[in-house]
Structure 1
Amino acid sequence: MRSFSKISAVVSTTALIAALVLPASAMAVELSSSSPSYGDKVSLIHNDYGKTVVIKSDISIDELQKMRDTLKDQSQQIEELKRSGGSSSSSSGRELDELKNKVKEQDRELETLGRQVEDLKRNSGSSSNSNSSEISNLKQKVNDQDRAMDQLKRTVEDLSRKVK
């Protein structure tokens, strides 16, 4: 309600200025000490072909109040978006770094498994049956690692698009 009194002070001041500006013969404005109501219209000083007149606008006091409240709400939402936008991008950046590190680690593991497969192929002379099952197991691990790596790459790409 406090802001309503500020608006009524502006309206009263406008009416007072209008009363002072208008010549005495054109004084049709009566000043009152009563409080304005929400349906009241804001008065304006208007130049009508060289003649200064007070006119009633189409803007009511309650519309001014609604506009002010809307601006206040929008300002708060913008500030909230600024705060949340900054924190989400930094957390996404951290997640992205963690995923990149996991991909690098899995690349190293894949290289190690690949070398082990090559060593097993070279040493597969007499014990080919047991090596064959080990090779199958290693191939399965490599395939699993490949799938996991593909999934991580897709996740990194998705997060990269979100960060942009």
Structure 2
Amino acid sequence: MRSFSKICSIVSASTLLAAMMLPASAMALELSTSSSSYGDKVSLIHNDYGKEVVIKSDISIDELQKIRDTVRDQSRQIEELKRSSGSSSSAGSKEVDDLKNKLKEQDRQLETLGRQVEDLKRNSGSSSNSNNSEISSLKQKINDQDRAMDQLKRTVEDLSRKVK
């Protein structure tokens, strides 16, 4: 209610100023000390063919109050959106970084497995059954790691698009 009286004071002051700007012969305006209410209309200064006149507008005090409240609510919502979108993008960025690190680690593991396979091939000469099963097992691990890495790459790309 305090802000309502502030709006009324501003409106009353502007009406008073408008009345004071009029020439004495044009003053047919009665000033009152009673308080305004929500249904009261805002007074405006209007140029009527070169004469400045005070007119009653179609805007009421309660409409001004509603407009002010709407602007406040929208400002608050905008600030909340700014805060929430900033935190979600940083969380998405952290996820992308984590996935990139996992990809690097898997690349290192694949290189190690590849070297082990090459060492086994060189050392086995004529392949025995146990060496063949080890090689097959290592090849299977490499293929599994390769598929997992492809899946992680796709996930990282999807997250990167979402973060942008």
TM-score (norm 1): 0.86
TM-fit CA distance, 1:127:
5.3
Is structure 2 residue 137 aligned with structure 1 residue 137? yes
CA distance in 1, matches of 2:143, 2:40: 77
Equivalent residue number for residue 19 of structure 2:
19
Equivalent residue number for residue 95 of structure 1:
95
Equivalent residue number for residue 115 of structure 1:
115
Matches within 5 A, 1:62-77: 62-77=62-77
**Is the Cα–Cα contact under 8 Å of residues 124 and 131 in structure 1 kept in the other structure?**
yes
Matches within 5 A, 1:15-94: 15-94=15-94
TM-fit CA distance, 1:119:
2.4
Unaligned 5+ segments in structure 1 are: none
Superposed CA offset, 1:115-137 (max 9, x none): 22222333445553222222222
- The count of residues paired between Structure 1 and Structure 2 equals 164
Unaligned 5+ segments in structure 2 are: none
SS for the counterpart of 1:57 is strand
CA RMSD of superposed structures (Å): 2.0
Q: Which piece of structure 1 moves more, 94-103 or 126-135?
A: 126-135
**Is the Cα–Cα contact under 8 Å of residues 8 and 36 in structure 1 kept in the other structure?**
yes
CA distance in 2, matches of 1:144, 1:60: 73
**Is the Cα–Cα contact under 8 Å of residues 15 and 29 in structure 1 kept in the other structure?**
no
Superposed CA offset, 1:103-149 (max 9, x none): 11100100111122222333445553222222222222112211221
TM-score (norm 2): 0.86
AA aligned to 2:158 is D
Percent of residue pairs bearing the same amino acid type: 82
Equivalent residue number for residue 156 of structure 2:
156
Q: Which piece of structure 1 moves more, 22-31 or 50-59?
A: 22-31
Superposed CA offset, 1:54-103 (max 9, x none): 11222222221122112212222222233233333333333222221111
CA distance in 1, matches of 2:96, 2:116: 30
**Is the Cα–Cα contact under 8 Å of residues 15 and 31 in structure 1 kept in the other structure?**
no
